[in-house]
Amino acid sequence: MNQQTAQRNQPAQRLQALNESQTLAMARRSREMKAAGIDVINLSIGEPDFDTPDFVKDAGIRAIQQNKTHYPPVPGIPELRAAIAEKFKRDNRITCTPEMVVVSTGAKQSIANVVLSTINPGDEVIIPTPYWVSYLELVKMAGGIPVFIRAGVHNNYKITADELKAALTEKTRMLIFSSPCNPSGSVYSETEIRSFASVLQSHPDVLVVSDEIYEYINYTGNHFSMGAIPEVAAQVITVNGVSKGFAMTGWRIGYICAAPWIAKACEKMQGQFTSGTSTISQYAALAAVEAGKEPVMPMREEFFKRRELVLQLINDIPGLHCNIPDGAFYVFPDVRSFFGKSCDGMHISNAADLCNFLLEKGQVALVSGDAFGDDNCLRFSYACAEKDIREAIRRMKESLSLLR
């Protein structure tokens, strides 16, 4: 291959600057090891191990039988947009109309639509750390400048209003955060969110992406949405979906509630990328959204039991330091005490090294915290069977005890 051909066989520069999702990369690696006959327990992926509720599946089947299989409107079928607007009023006290709703192929596309529709090159975007892996990459793709506010285990991985205020500049265009948070499981209280709003209302040009995809997996019983605060409601884009709360990851339905001008911008963006998402999935999501959270509360209770089990088992491993996550289905322990140690020629300099060590030595797939902006931690999911949780943490404890 000559030099000219080699230069042609390169992806675009924007893709070269984009990092692969480490959660998906670790899931792929664990699948490859399993295919090779290695008994890997995969705790890297954020997917409920429950099946989609029958009444939701039935709605999807009816949609097929009724031939609802043609192109839908780009922002979603009218029935679903209306139901989502009602859901925001019912569950979140957010004033929302159907024209403020855009339905997308998963909450990830919803966030991508928002960022690519509103961020210009040079705009600053505040991202509390740790953060979900795609926030940073989407900001980079839009030409934005990420501004991190670091929050460690000592303050439950949550930032303060004073820290937010100090990070704001004349170039700030957006704040992106999640509550409940992936990866930490931390939940911002109503008081904390109102304190953020008090800061932001004097910066009306700053938009807020409030990622609430884990809303129904909240152990505090007090989920609060910034979009419910009138003084900043026009600035807030609330992102949600059915993947986590209704175990509908494969149906690929996410949605936003945003000011009409933002919703229109996202519709225009989506119209050129994917158009409207699957009509079958939308009618299934309609059944879920109209039903509300009560049918899936048993799933949340099971996650809570698993959280208690995980914390009990982790606290029995010297060197792991963990907060008490109030939502989602992850733990994010600080693992710095293992840095500088070695075993069988494998030296641990950082969380990525430790993640690889646990995969090779313990055959447990986790995700290094550097994927989430905190290279002192590891994330693992407890959205799996209790027997797998017990065995995975047993392997972790045994492997970590070998480090000297």
User: Pick from 259, 292, 325: which residue ends a domain?
Assistant: 292
Domain identity same for 302 and 223: no
Tell which phi-psi region holds residue 122, choosing left (phi > 0), alpha (psi between -120 and 50) or beta. Answer: left
The answer to whether 14 and 142 have CB atoms below 8 angstroms apart is no
pLDDT tier at 23 (50, 70, 90 boundaries)?
low
Rounded to whole angstroms, how far apart are CA atoms 318 and 337? 9
Domain identity same for 287 and 320: no
pLDDT at 1 over 60: no
Q: What is the pLDDT of residue 164?
A: 98
| Number of domains, the chain | 2
pLDDT tens per residue, range 254-265: 999 999 999 999
Rounded to whole angstroms, how far apart are CA atoms 297 and 231? 32
Closest CA to 129 of 98, 162, 175, 95: 175
The answer to whether 295 and 245 have CB atoms below 8 angstroms apart is no
Q: What is the pLDDT of residue 9?
A: 78
Domain identity same for 253 and 310: no
Q: What is the pTM of this model?
A: 0.94
The domain in which residue 119 lies consists of 55-292
Q: What is the pLDDT of residue 32?
A: 84
Domain identity same for 216 and 111: yes
**Packing angle between helix 54-65 and helix 279-291, nearest 10 degrees?**
140
- Rounded to an integer, the average pLDDT of 75-84 is 98
Domain identity same for 255 and 380: no
For the ranges 156-160, 162-166, 232-236, 358-362, the lowest mean pLDDT is seen at 358-362
pLDDT at 221 over 80: yes
pLDDT at 146 over 80: yes
Residues 6+ apart with CB under 8 A from 310: 331, 382, 389, 393
pLDDT tens per residue, range 25-38: 777 777 787 788 88
Q: What is the pLDDT of residue 14?
A: 81
Domain identity same for 284 and 302: no
Domain identity same for 309 and 343: yes
Domain identity same for 207 and 273: yes
Strand partners, 321: 334
pLDDT at 5 over 70: no
Domain identity same for 288 and 308: no
